[in-house]
Amino acid sequence: MGCCCNPVVLIRRPADRVSEQPPAGTAPRRWLVTGASRGIGRAIAAIACSKGDQVCLVGRSSDIGSTAAAMGEHAIGMQADITNPADLARLAETIEARWGGIDVLINNAGLHRGGTLDRLADEDWEASLATNLTGPMRIVRAMLGQMSPGGSIVNIGAVVGFRGFPGDSSYGASKAGLAGLTQVLAAELARRQIRVNMVVPGFVMTEMTSGVSERARESILARVPLQRMGTPEEIAEVCWWVAGSTYMTGSVVFTDGGLMCNL
Ligand SMILES: NC(=O)c1ccc[n+]([C@@H]2O[C@H](COP(=O)([O-])OP(=O)(O)OC[C@H]3O[C@@H](n4cnc5c(N)ncnc54)[C@H](OP(=O)(O)O)[C@@H]3O)[C@@H](O)[C@H]2O)c1
């Protein structure tokens, strides 16, 4: 893992964002967002930065440092693979040394590998579970000692973790597992006053969905009552709110243009 923090922290925030700073007397929260190099994770990191919070962006891409730098002085980038336990240990050590802990953990990094069961490679099954389920569990375990009462964990789920979509066994199983983990951790960590919730995006415009065929896109959109794809920013806004909600834990918040109620 490479830490890209040092070169990326010295860029001044634009003056026009000053009004978005937290109210006087409110300490900025420290966020760790996985999968923040693009898509939904980058949008979540951006909204947290725009509100004056500190954010550590995590991703495998070597561009993670410059992505963080573009968000201003409150962002740092850490290159890490969430499926690699050594990377996670180093991530936890670096955060502790730099910030002394975190207040919000967003488990957003994700991988989609499709294929009906007869064509599903073991490697795709294992990669899905490693990234979408085992990785988040290990990050929570690695960071828990650095989360104080009032801390908040948001896991990013998927509609296919709740409904059967042919061809999505590995992705669907991994996200269903993450939903189960969310419930268990919500119950387990409540005594430490740490909340754990899940935000479930519908069909969102990102690199993950860029390869979906026109036919498949039309058939998914035909089931979305709001009749359009979501944007990463629309998901990020909900994550921002869920992360800060003080009486919500173990909840699943669908942000899907109504897809779930139409399946
Ligand atoms: N887009 C949708 O329609 C949709 C719908 C439902 C749920 N979701 C979920 O939303 C989350 C974000 O998806 P997205 O659409 O924004 O996808 P995306 O554009 O493909 O971004 C995925 C992010 O995860 C990171 N990542 C993947 N594997 C990683 C690993 N092993 N270690 C560290 N980072 C890793 C990628 O960065 P690097 O490549 O730099 O590592 C990237 O930043 C995922 O959990 C996805 O399952 C998306």
Q: Please write the tens of the pLDDT for every residue from 150-164.
A: 999 999 999 999 999
pTM for this model (two decimals): 0.93
Q: Please write the tens of the pLDDT for every residue from 178-207.
A: 999 999 999 999 999 999 999 999 999 999
Kindly state the DSSP code that residue 159 receives in the 8-state scheme: G
Q: Measured from the CA of 61, which atom of ligand 1 is nearest? A: 40
Domains delineated in the chain: 2-10+26-262 (3.40.50.720)
Measured in angstroms, how far is the CA atom of residue 132 from the centroid of ligand 1? 9
Of 1, 32, 47, 60, which is best to mutate to test ligand 1, by the most ligand atoms within 8 angstroms of its C-beta? 60
Pocket of ligand 1 (CB under 6 A): 34-41, 59-61, 81-83, 108-111, 131, 156, 158, 201, 203-204, 206-209
Q: 245: Cβ–Cβ under 8 A, 6 or more apart, which residues?
A: 152, 195, 197
Q: Is 247 a catalytic residue?
A: no
Structure tokens at 3: 């830490």
Angstrom distance (rounded) from CA 41 to CA 232: 8
Q: Measured from the CA of 229, which atom of ligand 1 is nearest? A: 3
Closest CA to 203 of 184, 187, 219, 185: 219
Q: Please write the tens of the pLDDT for every residue from 225-260.
A: 999 999 999 999 999 999 999 999 999 999 999 999
Determine the pLDDT at residue 18: 38
Residue in 171, 203, 240, 254 annotated catalytic: 171
Measured in angstroms, how far is the CA atom of residue 26 from the centroid of ligand 1? 31
Q: Are strands 2-3 and 75-79 parallel, antiparallel or unpaired?
A: antiparallel
